[in-house]
Every structure is written in C-alpha cells, then in structure tokens.
Structure 1
C-alpha cells in the first residue's frame, strides 16, 4: 500500500507520548534519549528484529573532540570536522545543519560510551577519504550489526518497548500537527497508534526502485546493497504534511563490494595504497576521491566490475573488519606471491597487471592526480573482484536545529521530527558529497536531538 496522509480517526487503538518509526541507530538512540528525559516511548519496526541500514554498515560514527580521541592524542574539533564535511560536498550543504551535526557528534559518542557502556574506540591505523583527522568511532568488530545489537540491548535494559513487524502506512495529520499513525500487522490487520510526538527514523528510499529511478538514475543499475525496508515513506508523506524535501539526488554509493559474494570490502584496501583495475588490468580513475564516487566509476567499466589490488600489509589492517574476514572465509579474496599468479587467479592479463603496479609511484602524484605516500605494494599480493552498489540515500526532509521537520515556508511542524535517512543529510546534492560516516552521523546526532525534543 502507498503511504498516505489522512485526517485522524475518532479513536486510536493505543496512545503514547513519543512514537518512533524505525529501530535502526537513529530510532534506538532517539528512544534512549526520550526515555532519559521521562518520555513514554514506543518504537515500531517493520522487520522481525531491529536492523535497518545500520546492520549493513561498518557501524562507524565520525565525531570530533571526543574523550576517546583525546586519549589517543588526536587533535580535532567540531570546526575542523564541519570544514571537512563542507569541503567534500563542495559547500552544497546547509551550514546550520553541518554545524549542528559536527558540534553534537562528540557528545553523542561520549554519552553512548559513558552512560550506556558501548565500547567505542577510534579507528587510528588508517585514514578515510576527506577526513583530515582520525575521527571514526566503532565497536570492537567494526560491524554495524554489533552496533545495532548494542543499542537494542541498551533500550531493552531501559525497559523501552519495541514492537516489530509493524510497518507504518498512514500518517494522521490535522491542524498542522501529527496525531498518530496506522501500522500494518503481519496478519494484514491495522493498528492505529496515537502520539503527542512522532519521530521518523524510517530511513530513505533506496529500496523503492521507482523513486531511485526518478531521483538518482545514475545509480539505478547498481546493486541495491541497502536495507529492503527503505521504501521512502518519509518522502511520500512529505506532500501530505506540506514538508520541504531537499537534495534527493544525494546518496552513498560504494565501489568496493565483492562480486558476486555481495560482501563489503573496506576502503582501507585503497586508502592504504591499493588500487582498482578493470578487466584489462589497467587503472581507470583516481581512487582517492572516495568510495561513494567509486560506485559510478566501477559500474562504467566493462561488465560493471573492477578488481581491487592490494597486499598482505594492507590485508592485515583490513582484518579488523568482520566483513573482510568473512570475504576471506568465502574465498572472495585471492592471494599470491607474484602479480602474474594473482592475475591468473583473477582472469586478468598478467603483463598488464604487473606493469600497472610497477608504474605506481612510491611518492607523489600519478597520472590520475592521486597522491601516493604509502609503501609500494609487495608480496604477497591480494585481489578481489568488486562491483558498484547503492547503500542508502542522503536526501530527505529538511529539519531545524531541534530535528523538527520544516514546512515549505520554513516553519517547523512542532511535533514531527526526523533523523537518519528520513532527513536531508550533509552529503550535498549527489554521491560525490558523501563523506565517510555521514549516514550514521545524521542518524546518531539527529536521533539524540529528536529524542530529547
């Protein structure tokens, strides 16, 4: 059924103070925050268990000025972070939103660490494209599934109700405010839930192929690597409540998904000195631009695929990520003592691959404008076949400094909030504006702010 907006019914089946749609990182952080200030909270989730896009990610949240950075002797600040965000998006973001996220991200990490016991640490052994400081915070396995499980455990400990297998379809709206929603049960019955505050944490529209074709056609042929539940309800409700949408062409792509295994390969394989080659064994672009742009670059190659070439030193760094270890276990990653042997394993021309790697500079710029300052690749050599994918969308509902949804004329809807993929993020207007971690940055900070209210 197409999501719709209707006047409220005469009565609701149940009523609650704060209702949250979606039990991903944004929804669960919002729930913890609302509970902390004494709100009666109910979270509904379309899936059988909380997961969302968070569970498919590496679970890394960028934040500046955290206690963990200080302990690791990393000098950073919200101002530096904000500048990095805008630089990646070429200044296309709304500065007030950039400042809001950059200023509050560190506080969210510190709060989750000290109040709820999430064992974050800083990724301090490689750099992510566009970040001038090491500020990516993750749990021990560097897994989004671990993050969502930890947040779910925290909400359960707090006694917050999460009702799964309830997909919101109807938003009840009248006189400029939300009154509640109707959700579909597994038995196809409908539950009408009234609320005083509604937080949209239902992510973006990447799983809605019609909306993808309409707003981001350049990634339409890419693998959908996000969560199928991302059907764009927040986008589709916007007209009915007079809400403003922005940057619907923005998205996070990824050009490093093992193919056909469908496993994310960490970008550390590139940032630490690896390269991508096509089926001719030749490089085709400046990989240092970022993994989001890589999706289109890879899809433009023959068969829509490429090969990541790196070495044992880089593989050792990459093994801190569960996805990488899973890719190794499934045989997606090949290893050999010579480039010729690796080329044969990947069905690449041995001579071309050898020449490509020998031509890499040990220092300075290459012909694509990429600056190398990492050790030259050396045996054992590693490689993996990859393709481009769409992970999640970055455009959505415009929100103010309290995460309230804004109308077309810029006024806030007082009791309607949005965060994560449901809200417009800070990735500019297309894929190239995506800075590593922008998705969870918006989810964590806007979820925290929306929950407090």
Structure 2
C-alpha cells in the first residue's frame, strides 16, 4: 500500500532506490553505479531472476555495435516501425520511439559493463525485418540474469535480496519519500530516496487482476514468475496514477503439456506447423507466438501439437529452454505420417493432407507461405497456450516518469519494465518478439538517467558506437 509520510526519519536515505532486481532494475542500477550515483536495489527473492530468468534472454535492438559489426542493415526507425506494425499502430508512439532509440545504447553500455552479446542467427522472429535479437552465448534468460548480477556487483551497486517492498511513503502531494521494506526476520525498515524506480513486476500472477483485465487468460496456465503480483499497479492506483494498455500481454502458444516447459518458436519459424488433435492446422503460425496462445486454447481440449523435422530440430537443439523441454520428455519422434498420426491420436489421412499442403510454394488457406516441405522423421511436442507476462501497467512518459490519472507527472516516481505500460498496444496480438526485454533493458537505461537528474546529477549520454 502507499501511505502519507510519517514523522519518523528513514533508517537509510539515498539518491535512487529501485524496487525489483530483474533485468530492468539491474540495468538501471548498473548504469547509475558506473556513473557514481548512489543507488540500492530491493529484491524479494534470494537470487534475482524474475520474468527474465524464465525467458530465452533475447533482446531486440537496432544499431548496436554488435549488429553493425555483423553487417546487418537496420535502423531505429525500422525497428520502431516494426513495433507499430505488429500492433496495427496501437503501440504508445512516444515509448516505441524512446525504447527503439535507447536499446542500442543500453546494449553497448552493458557490453562496457562486461556482458558479451552476439546476434541470434538462422531465423527471424515474427514481425522483425532484420536480425536484431541480442543474446549471450548461453542463449538463456538465466544466463542473462547471472551476467547482469555480476555486472551490478562489479559496478558497486547494492542489491538487498530477500527484501520485500511493502508500502510507499509519500508527502501527500505525490512525492515519494521512502519505501517500507520487510526483511527475512519480519522486521521492517524504511529507506528514503530522492527518486524511486518501480522495476518490480506486472500482474500475471495476480488471478483477480488477470480476470479483470485479461479474461481470455483467466483459466490459462501461468508460465511467469510468482513475483508478478501486481504490486506496482496496486501502488499506482492508491497514488492516483494512470494505467494504460492493461489488455496487453505476452502469451505463448508453445507451452509443453503436461511437462510445463517452453518450446522455442524457432521450430515453427523454420517450417514447422501446429496441428490440433484432428490433425488440422488452424492459423498462420508466423503471425506470432503470443496470439498463438489464444488460438491454441480455442482448439479441442485446448491443446495442439508442434510438428517439425530434423532441420528445425538442429536449429534449436542447443537452446537451453528446448533442452529442458526435451529432458522433461516433451519431444516425441515418428518415422512416418501414420506413426505421427498415432502419436497425435488423429486420422492419418487428415494429417497426410495437412502435411501435403505444407509443400506448396504459395500462400495457404491461412495466408502462410511455406518455403519447403517437412520431411520424415517427424518430431512433435504437445502444447497448450500460456500466459507469460503482462504488457500493461503504470502510464509513463518517454523518460519513464509515472503519469497521474489526470495527465500530470509525479515528481520523483518512475517505472519501467513489467511495472509500466509496454509497446504492445492493448491486445495479445500486439506483442512483438522481445518486447518484454526491450521494455526492461531500454526502460531501465532511460529510467536511470531520469532518476539521476531528479537526484541532482546527470549521466553522460551513451550513444551507440
């Protein structure tokens, strides 16, 4: 909750306080600490992870040093246009531009802090016109979080783990004065600050908020982090902050069931298909894995099968998330169409007709154009639709300052990442691959500069080199 400030002085007071030690909070902390700005991160878990640790760890950016070194022709303008195109023009224009501009600078700054990025190769995620997914060699969100944590420690940023932010204290006029935190032994302490960055969470783990804002996902599997409990939204409501794009979220139509593991959409983009238990395709899979969640859930029994071949398997076999799904027993293999039909439990003739349609070098009935046919042996994974994380939240301006419901700005309250509105419009179909980490990394980079300015310091610009 949020409460008007009491008279008792906080036990500790500093320039910038950050709630949330995920990718957003750590990106902000790294930039602040490397510039000599005093900051502390409050993190509820013993080891920072959040939504990022559950992701593939791919960060989209146009114009970074890594992308230029790879000879990829891309631009901030093209990236912002791709964001808007995915949403049909519904993405917050000021944020799409701000995040597209900040992303390459944020990637370059993190490289200077010790992270080593490379471009993901071999395929394009839906909606991206160029290779712009930045990844660590390990290709996992856990590796990204470990690297960010090490960079934060090297920079001298203090991360208070196992510390739960309980309430925001303010002066009655909207200026945040302190945060009340609960330590593992149950004791509370108040930490004062000149500027507060909410980098904590979305609301995907709050069943009541999901029912209110995302009714299509009310009964879906939740594949996100338990810390996404809607605290930022709740605090914002209590303070009178505006909310925006609350109907936006990242779903995923490739959640292995019953294993509960993510199966990379790369197998689909490299020629794979989704069929229902009748052996029929039901959508253009290249439109995106987020909206696929709703389409899969609409199929009989709310499930589908990812069907792909050895070529696609070779592309993803080393991805940690795919390895986890495989080790859990999600991957099945069939030598021919009758065996695949028996595995799925569908009519072999219907499935054969479906796979024959994949061979056509022309748009099919769903609008997808296949460049090659699938060949035996066939691989299959039974999947369902899942909710991963929300893309709506506190309304913010291009500098990540939280807006009041009446349009004004809070003097020292900032938000980014899952706590704030993203750039996915107001619907599941607006999610462009990587939008979550774009909001986290670019948003954290921007919020750091804004917070430093509020605290009376200025960070040097870090244009992409």
TM-score category of the 2 structures, normalised to the smaller one: over 0.9
Residue of structure 2 equivalent to 1:137: 134
Equivalence map 1:44-443=2 (5 Å): 44-113=42-111, 115-174=112-171, 175-373=173-371, 375-443=372-440
For residues 265-299 of structure 1, what are the alpha-carbon distances to aligned partners after superposition, in whole Å with 9 as ceiling and x for unaligned?
Answer: 11111111111011111111121211000111011
* 2:24 corresponds to 1:19: no
The residue number in structure 2 matching 1:36 is 34
Q: Name the CA distance, whole Å, in 2 between partners of 1:321 and 1:201.
A: 27
CA contact (8 A) 1:201 1:422 kept: yes
TM-score (normalizing by structure 2): 0.94
1:87-124: CA deviation from partner (whole Å, max 9, x where unpaired): 101111221111101111111112212x1221211112
- My pick for the range that moved more, 220-229 or 405-414, is 405-414
State the alpha-carbon separation in 1 of the partners of residues 3 and 424 from structure 2: 28
> Per-residue displacement from partner, 1:397-438 (whole Å, max 9, x unpaired)?
121222111122333222111110101100000100000000
| RMSD, aligned CA | 1.3
Gaps of 5+ in 2: 451-465
Task: Show structure 1 runs of 5+ residues with no match.
Answer: none
Contact 1:8 1:179 in 2 (8 A): no
Partner of residue 448, structure 1 = 445
Shift of 1:25: 0.1
| Cross-structure match for 2:457 | none
Other structure's SS at 2:253 match: strand
Higher deviation after alignment, 351-360 or 290-299: 351-360
More displaced stretch, 31-40 vs 50-59: 31-40
CA offset digits 1:52-99 (Å, max 9, x no partner): 000000001100012222222210000000000001011112211111
Specify the SS of the correspondent of 2:425.
coil
Q: How far apart, CA to CA, are the structure 2 residues paired with 1:330 and 1:239?
A: 41
Q: Is contact 2:117–2:136 with CA below 8 Å preserved after alignment? A: yes
CA distance in 1, matches of 2:53, 2:148: 11
Report the secondary structure of 2:147's partner residue.
Answer: helix
**TM-score, length of structure 1 as denominator length:** 0.96
SS in 1 for 2:71: coil
